[in-house]
Amino acid sequence: MPEKKPATRYIYLTGGVVSSVGKGVTAAAIGRTLKQRGFNVAIQKLDPYINVDPGTMSPFQHGEVYVLDDGAETDLDLGHYERFIDIRLNQDCSMTSGQVYAEVIGRERHGDYLGGTIQVVPHITNEIKRRIERVSKSTGAEIVLVEVGGTVGDIESQPFIEAIRQMRGDLGRDHTAGIHVTWLPYIGATRELKTKPTQHSVRELRAMGITPDMIVARADHPVDAALVEKIALFCDVEKQAVIPMETASNVYEIPLLLEKSGVAEYLMKRLGLKARHKPNWSEWQAMLDAMHRKKPVVKVGLVGKYTELEDAYMSVREALRHAAISEGVELDLKFIAAVDLEKDKGWSDLHEVAGIVVPGGFGTRGIEGKLQAIHFARHHNIPCLGLCLGMQLMVVDFARELLGDEKANSTEFDPGTTMPVIDILPEQKDIHDLGGTMRLGLYPCRLVPGTQAAKAYSAKQVEERHRHRFELNNDYRAALEAKGMVFSGISPNNQLVEIAELKSHPFMLGTQFHPEFLSRPTRPHPLFKAFIASAKKSGKSRK
Residues forming the active site: 388, 514, 516
Which of 77, 142, 412, 501 is close enough to bind ligand GLN by CB under 6 A?
Answer: 412
Run of H or E including 133: helix 125-139
- For residues 214-233, which are near ligand GLN according to CB under 6 A? none
Taking contact as CB under 6 A, which single stretch among the options 47-55, 88-96, 114-122, 467-475 is the one that binds ligand GLN? Answer: 467-475
Alpha-helical regions (H) of 403-488: 452-457, 477-482
* Residue in 152, 274, 281, 280 with CA at minimum distance from that of residue 215: 152
CB of 206 or CB of 469, closer to ligand GLN: 469
CB of 375 or CB of 469, closer to ligand GLN: 469
Taking contact as CB under 6 A, which single stretch among the options 255-263, 347-355, 357-365, 368-376 is the one that binds ligand GLN? Answer: 357-365
Looking at beta carbons, which pairs linking 114-123 to residues 24 or more positions away fall under 8 Å? Answer: 120/159, 120/162, 121/159, 121/162
Distances (CA, A) of 50 to 78, 100, 135: 18, 9, 21
- Number of helices followed by number of strands (H, E) in the chain: 19, 23
Contact call for residues 442 and 463 (beta carbons, < 8 A):
yes
CB of 152 or CB of 497, closer to ligand GLN: 497
Taking contact as CB under 6 A, which single stretch among the options 18-26, 240-248, 368-376, 466-474 is the one that binds ligand GLN? Answer: 466-474
Please provide the DSSP assignment of 47-66 as one string. Answer: E-SSSSSGGGS-HHHH-PPE
Does 362 help bind ligand GLN (rule: CB under 6 A)?
A: yes
Does 360 help bind ligand GLN (rule: CB under 6 A)?
A: yes
Query: What's CA 479's distance to the chain center, in Å?
Result: 37
State the nearest-atom distance from the C-beta of 471 to ligand GLN, in Å: 7
State the nearest-atom distance from the C-beta of 373 to ligand GLN, in Å: 15
Residue sitting closest to ligand GLN (CB): 360
d(CA 513, CA 468): 8
Which of 388, 394, 421, 535 is close enough to bind ligand GLN by CB under 6 A?
Answer: 388
CB of 422 or CB of 508, closer to ligand GLN: 422
CB of 108 or CB of 311, closer to ligand GLN: 311
State the nearest-atom distance from the C-beta of 319 to ligand GLN, in Å: 15
CB of 279 or CB of 361, closer to ligand GLN: 361
Strands (E), 221-273: 242-246
State the nearest-atom distance from the C-beta of 362 to ligand GLN, in Å: 4
CB of 92 or CB of 412, closer to ligand GLN: 412
Taking contact as CB under 6 A, which single stretch among the options 326-334, 462-470, 474-482, 531-539 is the one that binds ligand GLN? Answer: 462-470
CA dihedral 283, 287, 290, 291 (to 10 degrees): -160
CB of 389 or CB of 486, closer to ligand GLN: 389
- For residues 45-64, which are near ligand GLN according to CB under 6 A? none
State the nearest-atom distance from the C-beta of 388 to ligand GLN, in Å: 3
Residue positions counted in the chain: 543
CB of 62 or CB of 537, closer to ligand GLN: 62
CA dihedral 285, 252, 275, 141 (to 10 degrees): -130
State the nearest-atom distance from the C-beta of 197 to ligand GLN, in Å: 39
State the nearest-atom distance from the C-beta of 375 to ligand GLN, in Å: 19
Q: Would you give the binding string for ligand GLN spanning residues 470-499, x where CB under 6 A is met? A: x-----------------------------
Does 467 help bind ligand GLN (rule: CB under 6 A)?
A: yes
Question: Judging by beta carbons within 10 Å of its beta carbon (0-12, 13-18, 19+), is residue 172 exposed, middle or buried?
Answer: exposed
d(CA 150, CA 282): 34
State the nearest-atom distance from the C-beta of 514 to ligand GLN, in Å: 7
Taking contact as CB under 6 A, which single stretch among the options 358-366, 368-376, 395-403, 528-536 is the one that binds ligand GLN? Answer: 358-366
CB of 49 or CB of 470, closer to ligand GLN: 470
Count of residues in contact with ligand GLN, rule CB under 6 A = 10
Taking contact as CB under 6 A, which single stretch among the options 108-116, 143-151, 355-363, 453-461 is the one that binds ligand GLN? Answer: 355-363
State the nearest-atom distance from the C-beta of 194 to ligand GLN, in Å: 43
Look up residue 123 and give its DSSP letter.
Answer: I
Tell me whether the omega of the peptide bond preceding residue 492 falls within 30 degrees of 0, making it cis: no
Taking contact as CB under 6 A, which single stretch among the options 30-38, 238-246, 441-449, 461-469 is the one that binds ligand GLN? Answer: 461-469
- For residues 273-332, which are near ligand GLN according to CB under 6 A? none
Which of 389, 447, 499, 530 is close enough to bind ligand GLN by CB under 6 A?
Answer: 389
Contact call for residues 138 and 105 (beta carbons, < 8 A):
no
Cα angle: 122, vertex 128, 133; to 5 degrees: 120
Strands (E), 411-507: 420-424, 439-447, 461-468, 470-472, 485-490, 497-502
Q: Helix, strand or coil for residue 385?
A: strand
d(CA 148, CA 343): 42
Looking at beta carbons, which pairs linking 493-497 to residues 24 or more positions away fall under 8 Å? Answer: 496/425, 496/471, 496/472, 497/471, 497/472
State the nearest-atom distance from the C-beta of 316 to ligand GLN, in Å: 11
Which of 469, 477, 483, 523 is close enough to bind ligand GLN by CB under 6 A?
Answer: 469
Contact call for residues 357 and 336 (beta carbons, < 8 A):
no
Q: Which amino acid is at 218?
A: R
Which of 305, 468, 525, 529 is close enough to bind ligand GLN by CB under 6 A?
Answer: 468
Residues in contact with ligand GLN by the rule CB under 6 A: 360-362, 388-389, 412, 467-470
